[in-house]
Structure 1
Amino acid sequence: MKRFAQKFALLSLVLGVSAGTMVGCGSETKESSATAEATEVAGTETTSEEVAPTGYGTSVIAIGDLNGAFHPFFYTTHYDDIINDAVNAALIGLDREGNFVPGVADFKVEEVTNDAGEAQTIYTFTLKDDIKFSDGEPMTSEDIIFSFLIQLDPTYDGIATMNTLAIAGLEEYTKGDATEIEGLKQIDDKTVQITLDGIDPAAMQKFGIAILPKHYYDAEFVKGDLSKIKEKIDAPMGAGEFIFENFENNVVSLKANPYYYEGAPKLEKLKFQVTDLANLFEAVRTEQVDISEPNASPEMVANVEEAGLHYELVDNLGYGYIGINAERVADLNVRKGLMHLMNRKPAIESYYGDIATIIERPMSRVSWAYPDDAEEYYGYDVAKAKEYFAAAGYADVDGKLMKDGEQLRIEVGIPAGGIMDHPSAPILTQMKSDMEAMGAVLEIADTDGAVFFDVLEQKGWDMWVAAWSSTVDPDMFQVYHSTGPSNHYCIYDDELDKLIVDARLTNDVEIRTGLYQDALDIIMDEAVEMPVYQRKNMYIFNPNMISIDSLPKDMSPFYNFYNELENLEMAQ
């Protein structure tokens, strides 16, 4: 069972076309819904060295640049975290549809009222039988508590956001002298109970953490000291499919874990080879690696098919969009006029062909909250745009669209490498032409990702082009609430705020879906974000090296070949 909480801890801004280049976020989760029993008996004294080798052959997977931070709570890049996922096992995970399923533990969720009449949510996690770490030591509830305490420590400085949950007694622990957390209890050797004050639908995705062996990382762990844990950041150990061996010459070497609870891997060894992103197709075609994840495009599909390689296309949990800053472009009519100048379909079809689709609301189609009956809100219509600009008070003065002595002028940022290589680039070039024809100006600033992001964080763009990588739970607070830390749109709407908060006060998916769909309509009416496209991720495999029959069937945005690394086999 592969964990997923860090993968989707935050809505993360994608600065280029490829989500795979993001620091701290990733493409898809790697969870498994299988419940196969472990092959060893809990409590035995054997070690992994005493168990006969398992599996056959060595497979090689292409991977991006690695920083060598191989710790599930302290990694710094998505690629490092791929290694973490292969070495560790998760408390809970996701199935193909994005539903929460047991990992190393079964779970139960109860909404209760405490003695003070206040709502609380109790999460009970019970370890499955015979779960072992890769050294043969049994996993216990003490290891679960230990793993939570790392992320909840007052000195924790990793990427996880577990400390934002309203766990009972957490504030006294992080800001006071308490040495235990009231809402984090070890019931017995296999059971842990976590109590949250109130209701938080996003809590479950944060609970999908890797469970680490306390005896290996810090048997004498005390609050406020994570030094011993960090010392092993380049020498991880867990209960995942594979055991870490080394990271040398841009290659991570792993070997099969005979104690893996869902069955020992079919491979004897697994290697991850750092590979230039521009060479991902050629590396598979020339058998330098067996598997890679190139950017999906019509040209790439054609190349892969011509080479006789196997490929899978799955929807990306995220979407591309064009944003508008409502403070810098304060007139709603101007924003609506700009929306009517965005000709999306030709741009996306020319870039992605039929492997991307236009979306009509600012949310990934993958999400359960996306309205299936969503219709176009702002169609491409130059005449309509002129009407809105006129309603905003702009008029033609000697061939220029003017108001109060100022020409209508918009600056838009796009991280397209200085060569306008971006799926939404044609939208901007047509907007520029249309605006020039009516006497307005669109200034296109094509910058690198670092510059683009710096300006965006400072709210320096009138308009910008980017993409979001979404969370499993479609919580909208971070991006659209008045106090949201990533509210780059500068949208401050009391009704929208209430809808977002209300959706956080219930676990009822049907109720939350209705609230989110109302919220999406408000965002569209405020004309601060034009949803553009839903793209796909691509995985390619060399059938001369990998048994295609060993790949999981029906891959999805939540479930791909990483979910079943233990089943991966070499071609015969």
Structure 2
Amino acid sequence: MSLRSVLLGAAALSAIAPAAFAERGSDGHVNIIYWQAPSVLNPYMSGGTKDIESASMILEPLGRFDQDGNMVPFLATEIPTVDNGGVSEDLTVITWKLKDGLKWSDGTPFTSADVAFTYDYCTAEGFGCAQGAKFDSVESIETPDDLTVVVTFKTPQPNPYLPFMGNQSPILQKAQFENCLGEAASTCTEANFNPIGTGPFVVDEFKPNDVISMSANPNYRDPDKPAFATVTFKGGGDAASAGRAVLETGEFDYAWNLQLAPEVIAEMEEGGQGKTVVGFGTLVERIEMNLTDPSSDLPADVRATREAPHPFLSDVRVRKALSMAIDREILVEIGYGEAGRATCNLVPAPELYASPNTDCLTQDLEGAKALLDEAGWVDTNGNGIRDKDGVEMEILFQTSTNAVRQNFQDAIKAWWEMIGVSVELRNVSGSVFFGGDAGSPDTFQKFYADTEMYANNFDGTDPQAYLAQYRCDNEPQPDNQWQGENINRYCDPEYDALLDELAKTGDLEKRGEIAIKLNEMLTKESYTIVPLVDRGRVSAHSNTLGGVVLNTWDSELWNVADWYRIEE
């Protein structure tokens, strides 16, 4: 079966069912807590989930993915397909029709010009757009009228739904951002902190790395939504305090990403104030290997760029040995229980795209030692640390501040030290680590460490754009304000060629084969990425909050317009 046949037979799905309320703002106030605080409300300025999801309450794409991974229209009248004439027979053009009468929250008309501008914004020279892979295949965008957007691709696209679909690719208002192109993007603080949107809420006040105050959008397209008049979106703290605030004290209505040991969550649920919701998608906790030298002794424009290869992680044998030393089953046990599965894959789902590789699931400390010996890394001075050519094998291992991640760090440090590697641990507030601030030395994009651990995933069910992040020359660096997606600075022309092949392959089985090969090049052949745990998403909501539908394929807040208060 080909993806083209899916396009031919697909029908645009109906809009989300109405929630159980009848008047905008009638249910008062709702409190949301994300223990990683948002740093910016422009998802093109940050790859951090907490920034993308908070922004999704304000900014919207043309279509989204529902809780089952199906495409649903939001700002568009329907999802374009070959059958309905929205996608050309040769798969080189997709035409979006916008809903008539849409307005920005400031009351001005939403038009096709805003959609075209969003493409110009993300692809502007001098700006390392955090979602740039979404637009890799676009040749041009035309707007024949205010309600029509015609996207022409460089080659036939069996999956033409990368631009403007999902929470990672929303539309920006041209009038607000037109002076923020290229190098000016990071200087537009007002726009980045207070974007004008079409979503159900507007920003009243944004305190970066702290709290967002929002109110119902007076120009939202459904006059009866949202049910809540105001929102407090609190950021910071830790997963445990966030969970308690919903499940035990009832202070908050929704808590995101309860990255806690299963017994801790079970104890919290005994508080009786709320319930957890769980779903598996494509969220993988992994270790990223820095292929470049993060040493502060290097000039700023060379540090952590491909101009300076890493002194020992540039050797694949070293990276493989570090992976072999890890016991992933123990990590699942101490961190996630039934909400986690040991994995060797960066892309664990859907099944079509998941590699059958299980090589990494068996810990092999002796094999890891032998591999390091083979690579010439031995302890020549008896201090317990392997060295070579005067370089000690010392690793700075960083991640965000979180109890589960710190437990993982402790375990991995112990295993790595067993094979003769010295490990220093560092943890950084998630608000900063995932914040994308070009001036901070502590972001995961800058990667001023040897290894780092985190999790993210892709929206929708197709991994093409996600895998395209690792294309050559897509790395964060000084001249793109440290906003590229290729965190490790990985570069392989063969990988890029396979990406190009994936982009033009329509047969689903063949797409699966190519995606699996790409995944294995990153994880099994190069060990640039060391997957650890396929994580189920665990969040919580109060017993009085209705309309919550956990979505692992888009933003968790994808249907916040449909949330409402349940009377006790």
TM over 0.5: yes
Aligned pair partner of 1:556 in 537, 551, 561: 551
Tell me: CA distance 1:333–1:83, structure 2 relative to 1, closer, same or farther (3 Å). Answer: closer
Deviations 1:495-524, CA, capped at 9 Å, x for gaps: 545433422333544322101222334441
Map 1:336-351; keep pairs closer than 5 Å: 336-351=320-335
Partner of 1:571: 566
Alignment of 1:195-344 (within 5 A): 195-199=152-156, 204-208=161-165, 209-211=169-171, 217=176, 236-246=195-205, 250-255=211-216, 257=218, 259-261=220-222, 264-274=225-235, 276-277=237-238, 279-284=241-246, 285-293=248-256, 294-308=258-272, 309-315=274-280, 317-323=282-288, 328=312, 336-344=320-328
C-alpha change, 1:301 and 1:500, in structure 2 (3 Å) is: same
Match of 1:55 in 2: 26
- Residue 453 of structure 2, aligned match among 466, 485, 491: 466
Q: Secondary structure at the match of 2:251?
A: coil
Task: Tell me the TM-score normalised to structure 2 length.
Answer: 0.70
Q: Cα deviations across residues 201-247 of structure 1 (Å, max 9, x unaligned)?
A: 78633323444566x749x9999999999755555443222344445
SS of corresponding position for 2:92? strand
**How far apart are the structure 1 equivalents of 2:382 and 2:23?**
82
Letter in 2 for 1:414: F
Contact 2:228 2:564 in 1 (8 A): yes
Secondary structure in 1 aligned to 2:72?
strand
Partner of 2:481: none
Q: TM-score, normalised by structure 1?
A: 0.69
Q: Deviations over 1:253-278 (max 9, x none)?
A: 31264743495223333332445335
Aligned counterpart, 1:11? none
The residue identity in structure 1 corresponding to 2:410 is: A
Query: 1:445 aligns to what?
Result: 424
Q: Distance in 1 between matches of 2:445 and 2:104?
A: 44
Structure 1 distance, partners of 2:444, 2:124, is 33
332 and 152 in structure 1: CA distance in 2 versus 1, 3 angstrom threshold? closer
Corresponding residue number in structure 2 for 1:25: none
Q: Which residue of 2 is the match for residue 6 of structure 1?
A: none
Check 1:407–1:323 CA distance in 2 against 1; reply closer, same or farther (3 A cut).
farther
> Within 2, Cα distance between the matches of 1:229 and 1:452?
21
Contact 2:327 / 2:361 at 8 angstroms: preserved in 1? no
Letter in 1 for 2:548: L
Corresponding residue of 2:141: 184
* Residues 100/408 of structure 1: CA separation in 2 closer, same or farther (3 Å cut): same
Using the alignment, how far apart are the partners of 2:378 and 2:44 within structure 1?
57
**Alpha-carbon displacement from aligned partner over 1:126-175 (angstroms, at most 9, x marks no partner):** 0235544456665443443454455456687865538954544xxxxxxx
**Residue 531 (structure 1) aligns with:** 531
TM-superposed deviation, 1:406: 7.2
Alignment of 1:153-192 (within 5 A): 159-161=130-132, 165=136, 167-168=138-139, 183-192=140-149
Provide closer, same or farther for how the CA distance between residues 410 and 273 of structure 1 changes in structure 2, counting only shifts above 3 A.
Answer: closer
Deviation readout 1:5-32 (Å, 9 max, x if unpaired): xxxxxxxxxxxxxxxxxxxxxxxxxxx9
The question of whether the paired residues in 2 share the 8 Å contact of 1:91 and 1:104 is answered with yes
Q: SS of 1:98's equivalent?
A: coil
Distance 1:63 1:404 in 2: 42
Q: Which runs of 5+ in 1 are unaligned?
A: 1-31, 39-50, 114-119, 169-182, 436-440
1:374 alignment partner, one of 317, 338, 357: 357
Whether contact under 8 Å (1:367, 1:474) holds in the other structure is no
CA distance in 2, matches of 1:306, 1:346: 26
Cα distance in 2 for residues equivalent to 1:282 and 1:263:
32
Q: 1:520 to 1:238 in 2, by over 3 A?
A: closer
1:358 equivalent in alignment to 2:323 = no
| Residues 394 and 401, structure 1, Cα contact 8 Å, conserved in 2 | no
C-alpha separation in 2, matches of 1:312 and 1:221: 42
User: C-alpha separation between the residues in 2 aligned to 1:222 and 1:65?
Assistant: 26
Q: What letter corresponds to residue 287 of structure 1 in structure 2?
A: G
Give the partner amino acid of 1:503: L
Corresponding residue of 2:545: 546
Q: 1:323/1:458 Cα in 2 relative to 1: closer, same or farther (>3 Å)?
A: closer
One-letter amino acid of the structure 1 residue matched with residue 426 of structure 2: T
Q: Which residue of 2 aligns with 1:504?
A: 503
Report % sequence identity: 19
1:501-550: CA deviations, max 9, x gaps?
4223335443221012223344414444432112233222221x424xx3
Aligned residue number for residue 178 of structure 1: none
Q: Count how many residue pairs are aligned between Structure 1 and Structure 2.
A: 494
Which amino acid letter does the alignment assign opposite residue 444 of structure 1?
V
Please tell me whether the aligned partners of residues 353 and 513 of structure 2 are also in contact (alpha carbons under 8 angstroms).
Answer: no
- In the TM superposition, residue 474 of structure 1 has moved relative to its aligned partner by 2.5
Q: CA deviation at 1:443?
A: 0.4
- Matched residue SS, 1:205: coil
RMSD: 4.8
**Unpaired segments ≥5 residues, structure 2:** 1-11, 292-309, 434-439, 476-484
Secondary structure in structure 2 of the residue aligned to 1:86: coil
